[in-house]
Amino acid sequence: MSFSLLALLGGMWAGLERIGWTLPSLGPDLPAAHGPLMVSGFLGTLISLERAVAVQQPWAYAAPLLSGVGGLALLGGAAAPAGPILVTLGSLGLVGILGWILRQHLAWFTVVMELGALAWLAANVAWLAGAAIPAVAPWFAGFLVLTIVGERLELSRLAGRNRGREVAVLTIVAVYVMGLVLAGLAPALGQWIAGLAMIALAAWLWRYDIARYTVRRPGLPRFIAVALLSGYVWLGVGGVLWTMFGGALAGPRYDAMLHAVFLGFALSMIFAHATIILPAVLGGTVPYRAWFYSHLGLLNLSLVVRLAGDLGGWFSARAWGGMLGAAAILLFLLNTLVSTVTARRVRAGPTGGPRPALDVRPAQPHPGHRP
């Protein structure tokens, strides 16, 4: 977990350098590693660790260890190809974990999650072979989109199974994967198709995800639902941008189409599930606090400012949007830490000794399941 956190902080630093902020240099190669640090070092390690905890197989921990150490190699400026090799092996490990889950519980949602892991592996293999980051960015996005969609597909069954809905979303997923494959051959066409599929996925999730029902409940269920629904909006926005600017390999439009998905969609999911993911991985509790809306609101504000700068040619707004996004992540980490420490003090009691209480840690999730 600490490797994932270091990759996150290093990736944020690299991102701020790339967007134009003058910061003390942590290495000449760090800005170029921004994308791999955020996707592989941070999110890939976190997702792999969660899967390893879920399956309870000792060998599964090799995946987050390899990607985490690979992130550290990128952060430390290790000579290529050490970092790419390690994160590629980590992604191969996640493919193996999802393969094990498929053998235990074959279902459409586990197949979609395995497709996500394969997308991550494909991106890392291409990068290791010398492909530029803009060329593999669609596959990095595919890793996150397919992983999250697979998880939400599982939970959507709580609202009642419907064959027509399942066929519709799986057809959209197939079109999305086709777009990713074509993006390697004809970037503009492939990303246009993938963008249409992202719009359709966002619409499906907004319509059928259980968040539409839990948003009516107070407290944590409402916060999770608001974070999820805002993430679906950003997935739709990202899809629109991919259809408009597909094939862009650099510049403000490229920045907008990627960060709507990587920040707006993916980080909204992290914010939504932190109170469940972190206790499942680390133990303890992260109680919901009303102030969690502060980091979620700041994230959404930062993206509005950043995309306005990207699309309007206001480079100062783009830079400030990036800074506000980094502040939102730091605020999220601070809010989570304060909530955790406060909960531990309450559980310890006034004398500092353990307070008798029921075990409030979440039950071990089903392999492949994120609540």
Q: Tell me: pLDDT of 347 over 70.
A: no
Query: Among 26-40, 162-176, 292-306, 342-356, where is mean pLDDT lowest?
Result: 342-356
Q: Before 81, cis peptide (omega within 30)? A: yes
> What percentage of the chain reaches a pLDDT higher than 70?
88
pLDDT at 75 over 90: no
User: Is residue 84 included in any domain, yes or no?
Assistant: yes
Q: Is the pLDDT of residue 64 over 90?
A: yes
Across 51-55, 63-67, 199-203, 266-270, least confident range: 51-55
| Residue 28 in domain | yes
Q: Does 53 reside within a domain?
A: yes
Q: Is residue 241 part of a domain?
A: no
Q: What is the mean pLDDT of the segment spanning 157-165? A: 71
117 exposure class (CB count in 10 Å sphere: 0-12, 13-18, 19+): buried
pLDDT of residue 202: 96
List, for residues 299-319, the tens digit of each pLDDT value.
999 999 999 999 998 889 999
> 17 in a domain, yes or no?
yes
Work out the burial of residue 170: count CB atoms within 10 Å of its CB; fewer than 13 is exposed, 13-18 middle, 19 or more buried. middle
Q: Categorize the per-residue pLDDT at 341 as very low, low, confident or very high, splitting at 50, 70 and 90.
A: confident
Residue 252 domain flag: no
Q: Is residue 19, in this structure, part of any structural domain at all?
A: yes
Amino acid at the residue 314: W
Contact 264, 342 (CB under 8 A): no
Q: DSSP character for 263?
A: I
Residue 259 maps to a domain: no
- Report the alpha-carbon angle 273-277-283, nearest 5: 140
Look at residue 30 in the predicted model and tell me its pLDDT: 83
pLDDT at 359: 37
pLDDT tens readout for residues 255-294: 999 999 999 999 999 999 888 877 766 666 778 888 899 9
Q: What pLDDT is stored for residue 113 in this prediction?
A: 93
- Quick check: 244 pLDDT over 80? yes
Number of domains in the chain: 1
Cβ neighbours of residue 350 closer than 8 Å, sequence gap 6 or more:
none
DSSP string, 1-33: -HHHHHHHHHHHHHHHHHTT-----S-TTTGGG
Domain that holds residue 40: 1-106
Rounded Cα gap, residues 240 and 194, in angstroms: 10
- Is there a contact between 339 and 289 (Cβ–Cβ < 8 Å)? yes
